[in-house]
Amino acid sequence: MSDRTLLLRNGDVHSPADPFATAMVVEAGHIAWVGSEGAADAFADGVGEVIDLDGALVTPAFTDAHVHTTATGLALTGLDLSAAPSLAAALALVREFAAARPGDRVLLGHGWDAARWPGGRPPTRAELDEATGGRPLYLSRIDVHSAVVTTALLDMVGGDLPRTDAPLTRDAHHAVRGAAFAAVTPAQREEAQRAALAHAASLGIGSVHECGGPQISSEDDFTGLLELAAGLPGPRVLGYWAERDVDKARELGAIGAAGDLFADGALGSHTACLHEPYADADHTGTAYLDTDAVAAHVIACTEAGLQAGFHAIGDAAVSFVVDGVRAAAEKVGLARIRAARHRVEHAEMLSPQTVAGFAELGLIASVQPAFDALWGGEDGMYARRLGAGRARTLNPYAALLRSGVPLAFGSDSPVTPLDPWGTVRAAAFHHTPEHRVSVRAAFTAHTRGGWRAIGRDDAGVLVPGAPADFAVWRTGELVVQAPDDRVARWSTDPRSGTPGLPDLTPGGELPRCLRTVVAGRTVFVRPGE
Which amino acid type is present at position 273?
Answer: C
Q: Is 157 within the bounds of a domain?
A: yes
Which amino acid type is present at position 40?
Answer: A
Q: Is 228 within the bounds of a domain?
A: no
Q: Is 465 within the bounds of a domain?
A: no
Name the residue range of residue 149's domain: 70-185
83 and 116 Cβ atoms separated by less than 8 Å? no
Which SS3 state, helix, strand or coil, does residue 53 take? coil
Spatial distance between the Cα atoms of 76 and 81, rounded to a whole number of angstroms: 11
How buried is residue 210: exposed, middle or buried, by Cβ count under 10 Å (0-12/13-18/19+)? buried
Query: Can you give the C-alpha Rg of the chain in angstroms?
Result: 23
Look at residue 364 in the predicted model and tell me its pLDDT: 98
Spatial distance between the Cα atoms of 350 and 158, rounded to a whole number of angstroms: 40
Which SS3 state, helix, strand or coil, does residue 362 take? coil
Backbone angles phi, psi at 190, to 5 degrees: -65, -40
The one-digit pLDDT tens for each residue of the chain (529 residues) are 456 799 999 999 999 989 899 999 999 999 999 999 989 988 888 889 999 999 999 999 999 999 999 999 988 888 999 999 999 999 999 999 999 999 888 999 999 999 899 999 999 999 999 999 999 999 999 888 899 999 999 999 988 898 989 999 988 998 998 899 888 888 889 999 999 999 999 999 999 999 999 988 899 999 999 999 999 988 999 999 999 999 999 999 999 999 999 999 999 999 999 999 999 999 999 999 999 999 999 999 999 999 999 999 999 999 999 999 999 999 999 999 999 999 999 999 999 999 999 999 999 999 999 999 999 999 999 999 999 999 999 999 999 999 999 999 999 999 999 999 999 999 999 999 999 999 999 999 999 999 999 999 999 999 999 999 999 999 999 998 876 554 334 445 554 567 889 999 999 999 999 999 999 999 999 998 7
Look at residue 149 in the predicted model and tell me its pLDDT: 96
Q: Does the CA dihedral 247-251-257-260 come out positive or negative?
A: negative
Q: Which residues contact 210 (CB under 8 A, 6 or more apart)?
A: 67, 68, 69, 222, 225, 226, 237, 238, 239, 240, 259
**Residue 194 CB neighbours (<10 A):** 17
CA-based nearest residue to 181, from 136, 226, 145, 223:
136
Number of domains in the chain: 1
Look at residue 308 in the predicted model and tell me its pLDDT: 98
Beta strands in 68-153 (DSSP E): 79-80, 107-112, 137-141, 146-149
Q: Is 210 within the bounds of a domain?
A: no
The alpha carbon of residue 296 and the mean position of all alpha carbons in its chain are separated, in whole angstroms, by 27
How buried is residue 403: exposed, middle or buried, by Cβ count under 10 Å (0-12/13-18/19+)? middle
Spatial distance between the Cα atoms of 58 and 513, rounded to a whole number of angstroms: 10
Spatial distance between the Cα atoms of 93 and 120, rounded to a whole number of angstroms: 18
Look at residue 497 in the predicted model and tell me its pLDDT: 64
Would you give the DSSP letter of residue 173? H
Look at residue 258 in the predicted model and tell me its pLDDT: 98
Read off the CATH number of the domain in which 85 is found.
3.10.310.70
Q: Is 149 within the bounds of a domain?
A: yes
Spatial distance between the Cα atoms of 284 and 345, rounded to a whole number of angstroms: 20
**Residue 230 CB neighbours (<10 A):** 10
Backbone angles phi, psi at 199, to 5 degrees: -65, -45
Q: Is 418 within the bounds of a domain?
A: no
259 and 345 Cβ atoms separated by less than 8 Å? yes
Q: Which residues contact 171 (CB under 8 A, 6 or more apart)?
A: none
Q: Is 248 within the bounds of a domain?
A: no
142 and 111 Cβ atoms separated by less than 8 Å? yes
Spatial distance between the Cα atoms of 348 and 368, rounded to a whole number of angstroms: 9
**Residue 38 CB neighbours (<10 A):** 9
Q: Is 175 within the bounds of a domain?
A: yes
Look at residue 489 in the predicted model and tell me its pLDDT: 45
- Paired residues of 174 in beta bridges: none
Look at residue 10 in the predicted model and tell me its pLDDT: 96
Kindly state the helix (H) or strand (E) to which residue 450 belongs, with its residue range.
Answer: helix 448-452
Spatial distance between the Cα atoms of 448 and 49, rounded to a whole number of angstroms: 27
Look at residue 215 in the predicted model and tell me its pLDDT: 85
